[in-house]
Structure 1
């Protein structure tokens, strides 16, 4: 029971690890001067006031700027066959698996010889009869 739950949890963790390692996205930030106006993930950031300073012709130096951070994931996943592993690596892998396979052996159930023994019924208190008291 515990092994199957552990196995499913570990498989789910590895699936999410592959998913998030291949995920790529962009983060776009829009600044007006030194003030951050908007940040957007997967879409375009909203501009300040609807009119960019770049659109106005009489402003010599535009005060607005856009910064785009592209976070790229892994593009190619490499899958190796068991036949493509080198001989030394294969030997190490097999010895590792075999050593851990025989490490955990099941223990035989112990035999309890007096499991079904019923003691005799006590009719009289033996300590009182023999007058042996533990002081």
Structure 2
């Protein structure tokens, strides 16, 4: 259960970073009130009813220029997430290096302490002192 929650949280954070840094644009062409063309990352094609440039000059300001309109929606992502090692000061680099080495060696396997008398045999019992003195642990 805990492993599943950790993996789900990691995936959600990765997707959050991906979608917050991604940018895209949409281009829409309307003819009147109806949508004629809709494109991602490209210029939308016109319906062919837009007026030529010389006719626009002849039309007075009171008249409507044409019935078509272009709408462009641009969603820009964040650009401040791109950190490089050049932006860190020397003290910050030293701290990161020391912290990394301390963290790595924190989990280093500790060797077992040698037992100096491991190779020696125990002394030979001549008399069993507990039986002779009648002392028993209860």
TM-score (norm 2): 0.47
TM-score (norm 1): 0.48
- Give the number of the structure whose alpha-carbon radius of gyration is greater: 2
Bigger share in helix: 2
